[in-house]
Structures are given as structure tokens and as C-alpha cells.
Structure 1
Amino acid sequence: MLTERQKAILRLIIQNYTTNGQPVGSKKLMNDGIEASSATIRNEMKALEDYGLLAKTHSSSGRIPSIAGYRYYVDHLLKPSSVDEEDRSKIRQRFHRDFHEINEIIQESADILSALTSYTAFSLGPDVKNRRLTGFRIVPLNSQQVVAILVTDKGNVQSRIFAIPQSVHSEDLEKMVNIINDRLVNEDLLTVYHRLRTEIPMTLHKYYQSTEGILTLFDGMLSQLFEEKIYVSGQMNILDFEPNQDVEQFKSMYALMSDVDGLNRLIVPTDQTIQIRIGTEIGHDLFQNMSLIQATYQIDGHGQGTIALLGPANMQYAKVFGLIDAFRQELSEKLADYYRSLDRH
């Protein structure tokens, strides 16, 4: 159990270190308001080091926070900063334009967050399972590739490029589109997904002499189209998070940013409005010296979305916590306005 003075010292060390990146010594703590002698403060810092909350750098008398120190600070000492009007104005200006579909707003939200923080930002829109299918099309690109396009009633358009199996012909694709539109349009996506796995394959057998190629293409297209897409912005910022990272570590982290399964494991659903995971809590060996702050937002009648920031463990937690809390509210209002505009039309 920390004393009040130890808590004050830990809080000041973290606030100073996350602001300027320099080890903090007893003189700095005295100047910042710790009412004790330099020797007493050093003893307190040594106690905090023994608790595993601080670390000493080389021969310097200054201390820096440990991963455990950041965790204690977030759990017990964090007081979120209010967002300054300049940042709030930037958010509103970026959102104050016409968007043609939900995914544009989700992508823009990741871009704004990354620009404001210089961290890597992630954005995941409201749950697609609450939506209804309103259209499905396939557009040929050439003799080997097609674009599959799925449209929902909430303004979402999902598209993917797929290679066509040699056994599948253009008339086969046309039949498949007609079957989906005849039987699945206006169904909610959860029902659509279930029927794609059960009823539709049986229907396809009635129309095709051999369904091997068509079922492979069909399953691949629809499975990928129903995946929740996580938009990422500021991937290159990870170069700044870990000063000693090698090229292979950077390549692995960068590759993860385009790995759908990896991102889904990284951005896990949570009941908490805002959650901060530090180091090994993130669940990936690549991020042991980093932090991930994740926030959820709710849109009445349209489900829940998620935004997240990946940054160094020495991020300015109070500032980032306040920013992401304000941002999730602005994003929720923007999406709610967009849905209302759809209803009016």
C-alpha cells in the first residue's frame, strides 16, 4: 500500500517522464511541490523502485516508470485532462463535410485520431449484424477477376476483389447474383449469414451441374464481405514508439496492421467504456513496451463501435484518455446524424 507521498511522487514522475522523456530526480520533484528533503524523496523513490513501480537508468539518480508503474498510475492515480478547444475544433471541422457512406466516416475517424496524437489509430464501425442486406452485385474486372459489392440499409458498401475459378463462367456469376438478390435481400445480416451456410448451397445445386468452383467462390466472397473491417491510420508512427526496435520487429508490427485476424485479436470487445492495456496485457509479444487505449461508443438503434490508439508505454495517459473520451462522443454524434439523414430520405 503506497503512502500519499509515494503516490504523489509516482504521479509526478510519470507526468514528467511522459511529457519530456527524461528521468526525474529529487530536485525536480521538490520544485514540483513534494514537501520533503532531497534525501527523503530519494528514499521514497528507492521504495517505489523496490515495489517494481520505478526503474533506475544507468548511474543517474533520476527514475523512470516501469510497466507496473504505469499500470498502478492508470488504475489509481489517473485524472483525465479536459480536451482543449483547439483539438475539439479540429475534430468537428474534419467531421463537418458530406460523407456518402458509413465506412467513409469510420476511416476518417481513424485518420483524425492519428493526426491528433501521432499514434496508430484503429476504428471499427457499428456491428454489421444489425443491418439488412439491400443489394448484392458482381462486376467483372477482367477474365480472371471480379468485384463483389454488398450494400446494406445503413449506408454501408462492402467490396472485395476475387479471382474466378476456371470452372466458373460469367453466366454462373449472373445466376448466383440473382439467387442472392431474390432470396436474401431485406433480410438482416445475421439471417443472411446463416442461410448462406445452410439453404443457399442446396439451392445452388439445383442450378449448376457442378457446384465445386461456384461454392468455393461464393463462400469466399460472402465470408469476407461480412467481416468487420478495422480501419487503420498512422501505421508508420510505430517507428517512433520503440527507440531500440530492429527492422524485423518493425516489419512484423507493420504487417499486423493489414492482418484482419490479427487486428481482430488485438481490438477485442470490452464492456468498459474506455480500457487501457499496457505491455503484455495487449496480448502480443511485439507490444511489450507499448499501450493500447480502446473506447466504445453507442449509437441508439444501430449498435456499438470501437476506436483505439496504439502508442508507447510512456504516452500521456491523462491527455489521451480525455481526448479519446471526447472523440468517441463526437464520432457517435456524427454517426447518429448520418443515420438520421438516411431515415429522412
Structure 2
Amino acid sequence: MLTQRQLLILETIIQDYANVGQPIGSKKLQEQLPVHVSTATIRNEMAVLERAGFIMKEHSSSGRVPSLSGYRYYIDNLVKPTKADQGAVQAIRHALASNFSKVDEIIAMSARLLSEMTDYTAISLTPGSTGVKLEGFRLVPLGSSQVMLIMVTNDGTVESQIYNVPAGMHGDQLEAVVRLINQEVVGLPIEEVSSKLQAIAPKLMGYLRGSLSMLDVFDNVLGKAVHQQVFVDGKKNLLNQLTSDNIEQVKSIYSLVDHGPGLGQLLANTNDIAVMIGDELPDNLLTDYSLISAKYQDGNAGEGLIAILGPTNMQYSKVLGLVDALRLELSQRLSNYYRDFND
């Protein structure tokens, strides 16, 4: 069990290291602590914290830096999120008040805002498709041999794909297929449409003369709508951590956040707000990084995620406050979007 003085010293080391990025010595701590303590006493307390594994020496410096265990203890027991100031909240509201035509545009803007306000890499995931219903398919001729299949859902999502019409198949046949599908699936939750298409596939095959390619196009368009979209902003901020010793690591992390295969696992957050530090993250490339993620609600039975990826010595209090403010404003903006869309 740490004493109040040891807790205060640990907290000060973590906050100062976030500000200056340099090891913290006893003299510097003495200047910053809100209570008068001799440098000898501070050195003794630092020795206790070092033995406990909360701080460590960096190279031969006499100063100390936080360890991953120290950060974890700080997050679990000491951190006090700084409430976002009114100026930041107003900036978020103003940016989200734009006239967006799609939910994806709002989610992408949230990543941009979070990156700009923190100077870290921001990631946002669109809400799942729960509660989203199909409004219908339509075909748009693009010439004698191509059509565009367009799908619209009740949340304003529009997905499309070009289809090369097989030789011998006429536009009337394709229109009949679309009419039949619309009769069967309009109004269904989006996640149920694919199974419904499979159920009526034998009937559709009569129109399509045994060709499966058109059904594949329907499945592809549905897959785009159901799939959770990921938006990443501020990837260049990863370069702020670039040194001559970690070039390959930063290149690999850059690739990871650029929709790499491990991104979904990285963002598997089960809490409203979660902080993962260093080796707690699922990718061993990220031992020098922390991820703060938070869930948001869209007011339409959907749930999405926003996250910040930055160095372990990030300013946790400030970032946690901004993430919380943004998720609340984003939830409100999406609720208003769906309300206006459905009116």
C-alpha cells in the first residue's frame, strides 16, 4: 500500500514526464510538489516506488520515468479526467453541426476532430447495423452491357455496385428480379436480408437463367452496408514518436492502423471507456503506446467506438476528458440525425 506522499510523487512524475518527456529527478520534483519535502526524502520515496516497479531509471540518468505498471496503477487509482473546457465543447458541436448526408461522414469527422484536438492518431468505428432496415434496391442502366445496383437503407446509407450483364440477359429480366426482391425484403432489418435472398433464390434463378453472378452482386452490396466501417485520422502523428531506433516499428504501426488485419482486435473494447497500456495491447508492436477507447450510442439501437492511439506518456487526464466530451456530443448528433431523417 502506497502512502499519500508516494502517490503524490508517482502522480507528479507521470504528469511531468507527459509534459517534458525527460526523466524526473528529486530536485525537479521538489519544485513541483504542492507540499514541502526535502530532496533526500523524495529520493527515499522514489526508491520505494522503484522497488515496487512503478518507476524506473532510464539509461544512466539519475531521474526516473514511469513504468508500464506505474501507468496502470495511475489509470486505475489516480487519474482524474480533466473536463473539456467550454471552448472545446463548442468547437466539437460546431464541427458536428455541419449538414452531413451520411452517418459515415459524421463518424469520419469525429476521428478528425479527436486527432486535431489531441495531436494523436484517432480511430472511429461506425455503429453496427442493428435497427437499420432496407428501403429498397434499384437498377440504373449504364449502357447496353452494364447496370448499377443501388441499395438504400432507412439510416440514409446508399451502397452501389456495377454489374456486367451476361450475354443473352435483358434489362427486363433484371428489372423483374429487382421487383421480386423488393417485394420480399423491403422493410426487413439489414442483417436478415441475405438469408431472405437465399430463401427465394430458386425463384430468382428462373429469371436469371441459372446465373449466380447477380445474386453475388446483391450479397456484395449488402456486405458493404452491414460491415462496420473504420475511419483513421492523424496517422502522420505516429511519426512524432519516430527515432533512429524505432523506424521499422513505427512503419509497422502505421500499416496496422491503416486498416491492417489486427485493427479489429485492437479495438475490441467491452467497457464504456477503456485504457490499454503497452503490453496490454494485443499487438506486440505497441509496447510504447496506449489506446484510449470509448463507446458511443447512435440513438438508433446501434453502438460505435472512438479511440485514441498515442505514446504511453500521453496526457491521460486531458485526453480522457476530450474523448468523453466527444462521445457524448457524437451520440447526441447521431440521435438528432436519425430523428430528422425519420421525420
**TM-score, L = length of structure 1:** 0.87
Q: How far off is 1:277 after superposition? A: 0.9
With 258-267 and 94-103 compared, the bigger mean Cα shift is at 258-267
Give the alignment of 1:4-19 within 5 angstroms: 4-19=4-19
Kept after mapping to 1: 8 A contact 2:296/2:305: yes
SS at match of 1:130: coil
- Structure 1 CA distance for aligned equivalents of residues 259 and 174 of structure 2: 28
2:64 corresponds in structure 1 to 63
Deviation of 1:147 after TM superposition, in Å, equals: 5.9
Q: CA deviation at 1:49?
A: 1.8
Q: How far did residue 322 of structure 1 move?
A: 0.8
- Deviation string 1:204-251 (CA, Å, 9 cap, x unpaired) is 333333334444444334323320111211122221235456444334
Q: What is the aligned partner in structure 1 of residue 114 from structure 2?
A: 113
What RMSD in Å do the two structures reach over aligned CA positions? 2.8
Q: What's the counterpart of residue 327 of structure 1?
A: 326
Structure 2 distance, partners of 1:116, 1:155, is 29
SS of residue paired to 2:59? coil
1:235-254 counterparts in 2 under 5 A?
Answer: 235-243=235-243, 246-254=246-254
SS state at 2:318 partner: helix
Distance in 1 (CA, whole Å) between partners of 2:169 and 2:253 is: 40
What residue in structure 1 maps to residue 77 of structure 2? 76
Residue 263 (structure 1) aligns with = 263
Change (3 A) 1:170 1:22: farther
**Equivalent AA in structure 1 for residue 25 of structure 2:** G
Q: For the residues of structure 1 that align with 2:53 and 2:165, how far apart are their CA atoms?
A: 58
- Contact residue 26 and residue 38 of structure 1 kept, 8 A: yes
Listed one character per residue, the Cα deviations across residues 39-68 of structure 1 (whole Å, up to 9, x for unaligned) are: 221122122222221121222111111112
Paired residues, number = 341
Deviation, 1:175, is 5.5
- Contact 1:162-1:221 within 8 A present in 2 as well: no
Q: Are residue 337 (structure 1) and residue 336 (structure 2) matched?
A: yes
Structure 2 residue runs without a partner (length 5+): none
Change beyond 3 A, Cα 1:221–1:151: closer
Q: Is the contact between residue 83 and residue 322 of structure 2 (CA under 8 Å) also seen in structure 1?
A: yes
**Contact 1:15 1:316 survives alignment (8 Å):** yes
Cα deviation per residue 1:148-207 (whole Å; 9 max; x = unaligned)?
A: 543211222345x568597896747656544432321111112224324x3144343333
CA distance in 1, matches of 2:166, 2:246: 43
Q: Which residue of 2 aligns with 1:279?
A: 278
TM-score normalised to structure 2 length = 0.88
Q: After the TM superposition, which of the residue ranges 165-174 and 329-338 deviates more from structure 2?
A: 165-174
Alignment match, 1:103? 104
Range with greater deviation from structure 2 (115-124 or 219-228): 219-228
Alpha-carbon distance in structure 1 between the residues aligned to 2:260 and 2:136? 24
Change beyond 3 A, Cα 1:23–1:182: same
Q: Is the 8 A contact 1:168 1:214 kept in 2?
A: no
| Partners of 1:278 and 1:292 within 8 A in 2 | yes
CA distance in 2, matches of 1:77, 1:245: 32
Contact 2:159 2:225 in 1 (8 A): yes
Relative distance call for 1:165 and 1:206 in structure 2 (3 A) is closer
- The equivalent of 1:30 in structure 2 is 30
> Taking structure 1 as reference, are residues 122 and 286 closer, same or farther at Cα in structure 2, changes over 3 Å only?
same
Give the residue type in structure 1 aligned to 2:259: D
Q: Deviations over 1:65-108 (max 9, x none)?
A: 11121111000110111212222222122122211221211111
Deviation at 1:300, TM superposition (A): 3.8
| Equivalent residue number for residue 233 of structure 2 | 233
How high is the sequence identity, in percent, across the aligned residues? 43
Map of 1:156-195 to 2, 5 A cutoff? 156-159=157-160, 171=171, 177-195=178-196
CA contact (8 A) 2:138 2:151 kept: yes
Using the TM superposition, give the Cα deviation of residue 145 of structure 1 relative to its aligned residue in structure 2, in angstroms: 8.3
* 1:299-310 aligned within 5 A: 299-310=298-309
- Inter-partner Cα distance in structure 2 for 1:265 and 1:176: 39
**What are the within-5 Å matches in structure 2 for residues 38-57 of structure 1?**
38-57=39-58
- Listed as ranges, the gaps of 5+ residues in structure 1 are none
- Give the aligned partner of residue 318 of structure 1: 317
**Is the Cα–Cα contact under 8 Å of residues 14 and 65 in structure 1 kept in the other structure?**
yes
Q: For 1:73 and 1:163, how far apart are their aligned partners in 2?
A: 56
